[in-house]
Structure 1
Amino acid sequence: MTPPPRRLRLAAAASLVLLALAAHAQTVPAPNAPNDPSAPTSPAPIVEPSGAPTASVVAKAEPKSDATPSALTAELFFNVLVGEMTARSGDATDGAALMLEAARRTRDPRLYQRTVELALQTRSGDTALAAARAWKQAQPDSRDARRIELQILIALNRLADTVEPLRAEFAATPRIEHPFLMTIVARTYARATDKKLAASVVERALVDEIKNPATAGLAWTTIGRLRLVAGDPSGALDAALKGQEADPTSDGPAILAVDLIDPGQPLAEPIVKRYLATPKAQPEVRMGYARALAEGRRFAESSAELTKLTVERPDLPDPWVLLGSLQAQARQDAAAETSLKRYVELANGQADADERKRGLTQAYLLLSQLAERRKDFVGAENWLAKIDNGDDLVGTQARRASLLARQGKLQQARDLVRALPERNADDKKQKFLAEVQLLRDAKQYQPAYDMLLKASTAAPEDSDLLYDQAMVAEKLNRMDEMERLLRRLIELKPDNQNAYNALGYSLADRKVRLEEARTLIQKAVQLAPDDPFIADSLGWVEYRLGNMEEASRILEAAYKRRPDPEIAAHLGEVLWAAGKRDRAVAVWKEASLADADNETLQETLKRLRVKL
């Protein structure tokens, strides 16, 4: 497009400047009139840095000005006009210099802001910083000047220089706004290049908040978050402890501690428990704790927390769906169905539409699974028909395919999975694994193995494929192949507890190399100490080694945490061998009610010639 003539461009620029100056004049107070302290302001928030400084760093400035009408001289007008013209012609640096002169003459915050914008157009962070500091010097009480200075310093990665401005910002911010400001600070400084320095800087800047009992809990939480981002979980735990000591009712330290729960951090969980014992404990913290327990495979403890939460706050939807999921895993089908239906009833009250959709999809899938277990295939399909979420298309259709396969329509089930669209690599892999699972459930082990062999040959370092291939090789009685695959998986993923557990259990189950089996399973226990299935393997190898009392102790504890039919089969056999046959039969009957078709349970009963 042909550029407009210079005269028109000059006129346009002059019009823009006149509009700016007219707006400036409207903000000038009448002579001898005091400023209105109640006048609304729009302070610029601290924004997250995005690399080198850009004009986006600057937010809208305060509309206040200390200029007087006499400042609106022809010389000022000329400086502003030429500054804008110079910047528009491509020389933002000189334009910024002219604009800064006008800003200093008028002390108008908008002209200081415009100076910063012009400097940032040329990615000149130092010039922008000089303009922001000139603004702050002219108006020491301007929060916008201080905040923009902070933004630029963070963007320039000059974190050490932000201590005093950040401290002043907290001092000037009303106490009620401190939680929001600390959230912004944590998010902003977490993106700094030197994360350890960022944590140290924020700690120094929050020295006054740390000393104040009303804000100490939140201040230490902010510091702890930054320490955690910096790869210092011990430092984060120390911050959580100090925060709770300063304010036992603050939820911040407890929320931070939830993220720190780990066998290597034994002092984190007590922080959460102490907070939950206070009268004003927030349900969100208990929900987070329950999730952490579930992720640690401490299912019984997680269910207990969720049950408590559903009693205290029966109107909250989220606890019901997680509780229903855990109950379904534990084969408590009637309780699971009640919980999931309660979630469906409450879900429409959720404000977040995406969260509601995800939760409903999970609930419908689980309800379909429960119906399938009792062979109510029509009911299972009806639950699936309620799902309206394209993001879970693969999961929904895989469940539909499972229903077909359970009714003897394996080929139709495979065709259904194959017809699914592949929007990305994850969809493709999920489709593949869903088809393999159909074959495994139908005991079509050779076709499943052939599919996995082809896939793992194409992706030899895919740990999921290696593990599944090893498990199918075991079903085909190819024990050498299974062992080779699992050792390859351990080589690729030394922290894969499932590989150690599977190999150790296989050796123990076949009564070969039992000491090696125990060593492998003990390694799995170290990696996942709260996994009841790994504990089951350890109990089983102790039984094979003849350590009946230890085996019984381990298996009883595992079964208490997770009353799974396979764990029940092993516990019952140990009890049977120890002469506690009534207790053994009771355990087997309980497991049979949950899943009468479980292979391990049926094989155990047949081998011991037990009829329930």
Structure 2
Amino acid sequence: MLSGRSKFKQVRHLVVLAALAAVLGGCVTAPVEAPKAIRTGVQPLDRLQVAIVPPERDLQAQLMAGDFALAASDLKGASEAYGRAAPLSDDPKVAARATELALAVHDQAAAGKALDRWAALGAKPAELAAGRARMALDRGDTAEAQRQLEALVATGDPDAWREFGRILVTARDAAQAGVLLERIATPQRLPNDSTAWLAMSELGENLGRHDYAKTVGDAALARFHDGTTYAWAGQQKFRAGDKEGAKKLFAKAVAKDPKNPRLRLAYATLLIQGGDEKAATKLLASGPQNGDTYAMRMTLAARAGDKVAIRRLYDEIRKQPDDVQADNAFTLGQLAELLGKQEDALDWYAAVGDDDPRIFDASVRSAVILHLQGKDDDAHEIVAELQTTYADRPEQLRKAFAVDGELYMDARRFDAAVDAYDKALRVKPDDTDMLYGRGLAYAEAGRIDQAVADFRKVLELKPGDVEASNALGYTLADNDRDLGEAQSLIQAARAARPDDPSVADSWGWLKFRQGQLDQAESTLRGAWAQRKDADIGVHLAEVLWSRGQHDEARKLLNEVRRIDPKNAALQKTERKLNP
């Protein structure tokens, strides 16, 4: 059982602690008959006075309020709390946070006060210039923003140009940011650092200043001649539509820095887009490796169906040190799956770390493998743990319910699948993928009206959706309902995907329902030749049987039985043809 060796994050609970203030007070009275000698003066408790700090003057209370507001995504509340905390604290970090939050909610007055406090506590000139530039940009004062940005880059601070870029990329007015970029980030002013030049060129592209981006990129190439500048020049060539020019520049980039995995990945991507996957595979296999190169090599080998390459890559990673194997546990799990080593795959997926961004996918793959092994209880147990673990993350929670639905669909437990898709739709109402999945489950369960309603809803939300058009058209045709509408829907799907055998199957089945047997047979024969799919084979067999070609129909059904012996359409057709 995988659940014994799997690692799952615990559900995070937010515990809010409230501070309670208790005021001590009261009086002590002597007994009625107590001797006077006992009372020698004011009693100790009578002298006790408790100082109560007003909340607005309590630094820790304000910091706590600000952090709670941030946790609740209440930026305005956080800004107000930190604004009250800044004058109470001698920590410049508090003033810096107050400035940042005030700028985030566009509160000029609060930002000015926080920035002044930060200055009094020793903020660096670059930090002050950056804050004042952001304030000027926020109120649309281009001249003042330019003065402050020029002051920022003139400080010589190591992070000045990086901060310059961050300020412009987050500016509210992209046109204003573009003007300031061209005025300030000139070749004469930029530092002797190719990273800064390329960052400004890329920022120019993002702000729509393409001529500026090309000018700075070309100047960087002429000045630095390193791998990254050649790669950036290659990207610019590619964007301009010059794919051959881009390939030449990327080849130079890799030649300049052959040990740089990022450059090889970028060049390989370009080769793949050009259809040369063999050259991309060879390029990726040369030089130092990282997780991304291993993953892309696996994808290319899987796409080519190259078992030898898959086996070679699997063995290559397994020979690496333990830490490299641990970092690539998810890729090793996928490779093991491709090699049919399901138990090894489960072990690798269980080794994926809790902090690995692929932990969710590793758990999903484990559930799928267990389902394929017939261990459905274990598979659904993993999915249930995912639903608990990611209860506060809607996207992952929705996917976890969707996985449950797919597993139930494959097991032909259609009512359970409907229930899983219902839960996913409660997380994200009107999710077209979940509506489509539930529609398929309804159709398989024989709940045709509900299936039709879901497919119609998908088309309402995504007009022209090919899958929904085909599914609705097929469902209507299969149930001899609204054949005219079914024809329109499937025709639209055929126009969008003329070579899709699934759509051709729907069209052939529609023609059978309409009594057009010649067209039904020719269409279904074409679809069967393209893809040996059980449903297509069953439909063609039924058409052949209806035309009196019983021997060929039986032969075809036998072939379908070898492909998918549990196919529901096969069983239904055999009962109908051999009552």
Q: Normalised by the size of structure 2, how large is the TM-score?
A: 0.54
Equivalent position of 2:79 in the other structure: none
Q: Distance in 2 between matches of 1:459 and 1:354?
A: 35
Q: Is the 8 A contact 2:268 2:281 kept in 1?
A: no
Q: Distance in 1 between matches of 2:466 and 2:496?
A: 6
Q: Is the 8 A contact 2:125 2:155 kept in 1?
A: no
Q: Equivalent of 2:333, from 347, 351, 361?
A: 361
Sort the Cα spacing of 1:509 and 1:354 in 2 relative to 1 into closer, same or farther, 3 A: farther
| Letter matched to residue 506 of structure 1 | T
User: Counterpart of 1:443 in 2: which secondary structure?
Assistant: coil
Equivalent position of 1:222 in the other structure: 236
Q: Equivalent of 1:422, from 389, 397, 406?
A: 389
Q: Distance in 1 between matches of 2:101 and 2:301?
A: 45
| Letter matched to residue 199 of structure 2 | I
Q: Equivalent of 1:499, from 456, 468, 486?
A: 468
Q: Superposition pairs for residues 273-352 of structure 1, below 5 Å?
A: 282-287=267-272, 317-318=294-295, 321-322=298-299, 340-348=310-318
Sort the Cα spacing of 1:134 and 1:336 in 2 relative to 1 into closer, same or farther, 3 A: closer
Answer yes or no: is 1:444 the counterpart of 2:458: no
Q: Distance in 2 between matches of 1:344 and 1:547?
A: 52
Q: Equivalent of 2:130, from 103, 120, 139?
A: 120
Answer yes or no: is 1:383 the counterpart of 2:383: no
Q: Is the 8 A contact 1:129 1:153 kept in 2?
A: no
Q: Is the 8 A contact 2:181 2:204 kept in 1?
A: no
Q: Is the 8 A contact 2:436 2:455 kept in 1?
A: yes
Q: Is the 8 A contact 1:306 1:323 kept in 2?
A: yes
Q: Deviations over 1:430-487 (max 9, x none)?
A: 4433444444344333344455456656764233442233222222322122112221
Q: Distance in 1 between matches of 2:119 and 2:544?
A: 84
Equivalent position of 1:158 in the other structure: 177
Q: Distance in 1 between matches of 2:103 and 2:469?
A: 50
Q: Superposition pairs for residues 74-473 of structure 1, below 5 Å?
A: 90=117, 92=119, 115-123=125-133, 129-130=146-147, 157-163=176-182, 168=187, 184-185=199-200, 187-189=202-204, 195=207, 197-199=208-210, 201-202=212-213, 219=233, 221-222=235-236, 239-240=240-241, 243-244=242-243, 249-250=248-249, 282-287=267-272, 317-318=294-295, 321-322=298-299, 340-348=310-318, 356-366=328-338, 370=340, 380-387=342-349, 388-389=351-352, 390=354, 391-392=359-360, 394-399=363-368, 401-403=370-372, 406=374, 414-415=380-381, 417-420=383-386, 421-423=388-390, 424-450=393-419, 452-453=421-422, 456=425, 460-473=429-442
User: Counterpart of 1:168 in 2: which secondary structure?
Assistant: coil
Q: Is the 8 A contact 1:310 1:320 kept in 2?
A: yes
Q: Deviations over 1:225-259 (max 9, x none)?
A: 5xxxxxxxxxxxxx21xx2476674559xxxxxxx
| Letter matched to residue 178 of structure 2 | L
* Deviation (angstroms), 1:505: 1.2
Sort the Cα spacing of 1:224 and 1:130 in 2 relative to 1 into closer, same or farther, 3 A: farther
Sort the Cα spacing of 1:170 and 1:590 in 2 relative to 1 into closer, same or farther, 3 A: farther
Q: Distance in 2 between matches of 1:556 and 1:583?
A: 12
RMSD: 5.6
* Deviation (angstroms), 1:365: 4.6
| Letter matched to residue 179 of structure 2 | A
Q: Which segments of 5 or more consecutive residues in structure 2 lack a partner in the other structure?
A: 1-99, 105-113, 137-142, 252-265, 287-292
* Deviation (angstroms), 1:395: 0.9
Q: Is the 8 A contact 2:366 2:379 kept in 1?
A: no
User: Counterpart of 1:461 in 2: which secondary structure?
Assistant: coil
Q: Deviations over 1:510-540 (max 9, x none)?
A: 3443332132123334555665433433344
Sort the Cα spacing of 1:385 and 1:181 in 2 relative to 1 into closer, same or farther, 3 A: same
Q: Distance in 2 between matches of 1:599 and 1:200?
A: 61
Q: Distance in 2 between matches of 1:91 and 1:398?
A: 53
Q: Is the 8 A contact 2:494 2:504 kept in 1?
A: yes
Q: Distance in 2 between matches of 1:130 and 1:414?
A: 61
Sort the Cα spacing of 1:219 and 1:565 in 2 relative to 1 into closer, same or farther, 3 A: same
Q: Is the 8 A contact 1:117 1:128 kept in 2?
A: no
Sort the Cα spacing of 1:399 and 1:320 in 2 relative to 1 into closer, same or farther, 3 A: same
Sort the Cα spacing of 1:200 and 1:598 in 2 relative to 1 into closer, same or farther, 3 A: farther
* Deviation (angstroms), 1:598: 3.4
Sort the Cα spacing of 1:312 and 1:518 in 2 relative to 1 into closer, same or farther, 3 A: farther
Q: Distance in 2 between matches of 1:308 and 1:539?
A: 41
Q: Is the 8 A contact 2:459 2:465 kept in 1?
A: yes
Equivalent position of 1:71 in the other structure: none
State percent identity of aligned pairs: 25
Q: Deviations over 1:117-145 (max 9, x none)?
A: 44335456666743775899999xx9999
* Deviation (angstroms), 1:386: 3.0
* Deviation (angstroms), 1:550: 6.0
Q: Which segments of 5 or more consecutive residues in structure 1 lack a partner in the other structure?
A: 1-49, 55-86, 97-113, 226-238, 253-280, 291-304, 328-334, 371-378
| Letter matched to residue 198 of structure 1 | R
Q: Is the 8 A contact 2:150 2:184 kept in 1?
A: no
Equivalent position of 2:534 in the other structure: 565
User: Counterpart of 2:454 in 1: which secondary structure?
Assistant: helix
Equivalent position of 1:476 in the other structure: 445
Q: Deviations over 1:144-197 (max 9, x none)?
A: 9999888877676431243366562699979xx5xx667534643465xxx4x4
- Give the count of matched residue pairs: 423
Q: Distance in 1 between matches of 2:132 and 2:167?
A: 14
* Deviation (angstroms), 1:204: 6.5
Sort the Cα spacing of 1:417 and 1:480 in 2 relative to 1 into closer, same or farther, 3 A: same
* Deviation (angstroms), 1:396: 4.1
Q: Normalised by the size of structure 1, how large is the TM-score?
A: 0.52
Q: Deviations over 1:326-361 (max 9, x none)?
A: 58xxxxxxx676664444223458998787333223
Q: Is the 8 A contact 1:440 1:448 kept in 2?
A: yes
Q: Is the 8 A contact 2:512 2:543 kept in 1?
A: yes
User: Counterpart of 1:322 in 2: which secondary structure?
Assistant: helix
Q: Is the 8 A contact 1:203 1:223 kept in 2?
A: no
